[in-house]
């Protein structure tokens, strides 16, 4: 079983670099599509919100490479490797716990989005429900405390609200773009 205490073996690093590059590239493209849509005069709200949700969803998946402790169902040796791998990659990509990607809620919201919808619908018996995407200030949630927003996008503040949970995405986008550049450079170095 795994005995290395320093992280990923050098010959295995390229697998992670390619995986990280793919995930960041998906997020970068989705953010780019979102920015393109903002330049259009007659943009569909579903498409606009969907582009941001896709970009943030990939960012949430990316976070697993850096902040993962393994599952309680996994053997101790595997969990230890996952923790070491995460630490190694955080160091390689110059990440710490102040990163916008570390938000565990970000990862969980997208990983279990179907369950969040279930729970939100089953636990809410009153209020005004907005099932279609809304483009508006995120402050409306505090102002209109009975409103239940499925998806709300605040373009000015760069905030996506899913099931009344806010995700400010400007710092997420910057972090993803930074990691994308590092991944490309690491792959170029390892040719």
**Has residue 163 been placed in a domain?**
yes
Could you give phi then psi for residue 45, rounded to 5 degrees?
Answer: -60, -40
**Has residue 2 been placed in a domain?**
no
Domain count, the chain: 1
DSSP, residue by residue, 113-130: HHHHHHHHHHT--SSEEE
Alpha-helical regions (H) of the chain: 13-38, 45-66, 76-92, 104-111, 113-122, 140-143, 170-189
| Cβ neighbours for 40, distance < 8 A, ≥ 6 positions apart | none
Closest of 83, 121, 109, 102 to residue 7, by C-alpha: 83
Reported pTM: 0.87
pLDDT digits (tens), the chain, 191 positions? 445 455 678 888 999 999 999 999 999 999 999 999 999 999 999 999 999 999 999 999 999 999 988 788 888 888 888 889 999 999 999 999 999 999 878 777 777 778 878 887 787 766 777 788 999 999 988 887 667 788 899 999 999 988 888 889 999 999 999 999 999 999 998 76
**Has residue 3 been placed in a domain?**
no
**Has residue 22 been placed in a domain?**
yes
**Has residue 177 been placed in a domain?**
yes
**Has residue 114 been placed in a domain?**
yes
Q: Give the integer Cα–Cα distance in Å for 18 and 183.
A: 7
Structural domain harbouring 81: 10-189
**Do residues 66 and 93 touch, judged by C-beta distance below 8 A?**
yes
| Cβ neighbours for 131, distance < 8 A, ≥ 6 positions apart | 150
Beta bridge partners of residue 152, listed in sequence order = 134, 161
**Has residue 66 been placed in a domain?**
yes
**Has residue 4 been placed in a domain?**
no
Q: Give the integer Cα–Cα distance in Å for 43 and 36.
A: 10
């Amino acid at each position: 079983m795994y005995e290395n205490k320093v992280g990923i073996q050098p010959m295995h690093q390229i697998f992670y670099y390619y995986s990280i590059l793919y995930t960041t590239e998906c997020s970068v493209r989705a953010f780019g599509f979102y920015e393109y849509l903002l330049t259009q005069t007659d943009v569909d709200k579903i498409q606009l919100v969907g582009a941001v949700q896709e970009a943030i969803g990939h960012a949430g998946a990316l976070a697993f490479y850096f902040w993962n402790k393994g599952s309680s169902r996994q053997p101790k040796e595997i969990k230890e490797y996952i923790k070491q791998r995460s630490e190694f990659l955080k160091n390689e990509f110059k990440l710490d716990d102040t990163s916008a990607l570390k938000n565990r809620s970000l990862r969980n919201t997208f990983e279990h989005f179907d369950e969040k919808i279930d729970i939100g619908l089953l636990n809410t018996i009153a209020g005004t429900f907005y099932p279609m995407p809304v483009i508006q200030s995120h402050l409306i949630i505090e102002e209109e405390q009975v409103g239940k927003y499925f998806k709300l996008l605040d373009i000015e503040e760069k905030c996506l609200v899913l099931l009344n949970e806010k995700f400010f995405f400007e710092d997420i986008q910057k972090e993803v773009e930074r990691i994308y550049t590092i991944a490309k450079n690491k792959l170029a170095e390892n040719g």
